[in-house]
Structure 1
Amino acid sequence: MGLLRAWRRRSLSRLPFPPGWLPYLERYFPFVRNLEPETRERFLEMLKLFVWEKEFISAGGFTLTDEVRVVVAATAVRLVLYLDLSYYDHLREIIIYPDAFRLPDRTGVVLGEAKHWGTVILSWKSVVAGLSNPHDGHSTATHEFAHVLDREDGSFDGTPELRRFSHYAAWTRVMDIHFHQLREGRARERQVLDDYGGVNEAEFFAVATESFFEKPRQMREKTPDLYEELQRFYGCDPLTGRAAASPPTP
């Protein structure tokens, strides 16, 4: 499968980026225009591959359009822009409903769900709502794609596949501290993170990812060690919109 994917990806890479997609990025992702030229090209390359490699499926009477595919894909790619698209290799399909939906294994309505077998389910209304206020720390699509990154190493446990083995000790210590302090209702964590992050370690990582990209200034000020760990993993500094100032430490 790896060889087949690599061959297909090389073939797709030769195809030009569809110019009709650019207005969607301008509308929903203004940060893209401020990326350095080389980084912007990488973003566009990863975006087109994600759109063309993953299967997008409509549900609940929803109509799929290029706008939907591009917006969902751009949200996913933003997380791995300084990592690698391979973090989504086990993601096969994205199912999109027009609004909140119900699932057989869940009570009540749902806005998003990441399944362990390689499926992400999203409410388009919730995706757009998350992008309409990019500084409130709430983005359903970002949350669910963070779960996908978490699952890439085999389980939803709040620890994705880190860059180096030596990073796991600090990651575990910092995440554990802030997870438990959030569960205890500490003011510092609650100013940065949604309470839902206290449900379990997997939800903590997803919620922390939302805040890292949408509330970076607050996170750096209130929980600098948490910000540092996420910065080291994602390889970027959302405050500047660029790669982290220094390379990941050994």
Structure 2
Amino acid sequence: MKKITIAIDGYSSCGKSTMAKDLAREIGYIYIDSGAMYRAVTLYCLDNGLFTDSGIREEELRNSLPDIRISFRLNPETQRPVTLLNGEEVEERIRTMEVSSHVSPVAALGFVREALVKQQQEMGRQKGIVMDGRDIGTVVFPDAELKIFVTASADIRARRRYDELKAKGRPASYDEILKNVEERDYIDQNREVGPLRKAEDAILLDNSHMTIAEQKQWLAEQFQKATNG
């Protein structure tokens, strides 16, 4: 069976990463979390005081990019990839609301996207990968053999995020999360570089009312069509 590139794009808190991770594990592909890469850069900015009341210290961030090394490794217990920032595991830290509320302005910076897109394209050169994000099917891998665009209503996505944080014992406010989801949607769709949009040849998946099992089955069917066609 030929190896292909699978691009999964969509709105925040749609469950893209979970879907992509599960699919990659089941078909033996490499999973790359592009969103985690932008979150890692955001965490670097927070840790190094690059956010100000008026925005981001862009010149400092630009100069720091060569020193920001993002990599992934497999957690032997969960068999899921975790994110490393300059060799330090930061998987939990990049999933906090603090990072979530700062990531969109960082991801909107053209020089940040250019640097990370180059890394992502290099990672995917050999095919056999699943990558999810905002512009994977439109910018990073426009020639991907299978493109999925995932959507769900904002209130359902906020509820999922709220339930996820509560399950991990973290403080969470549904109203704050919903506001963050809506703000990220606006920024992601209206940024100048790599805005969130459905590629013309992407298959739309609205998972508002789908179970995890139903999503898995649907994805498996799309994969079979793409590899056997």
Which structure has more relative contact order (CA 8 Å, sep 6+)? It is: 2
Please state which band the TM-score falls in when normalised by the shorter chain. Answer: under 0.3
Please give the TM-score of this superposition, normalised by the length of structure 1: 0.23
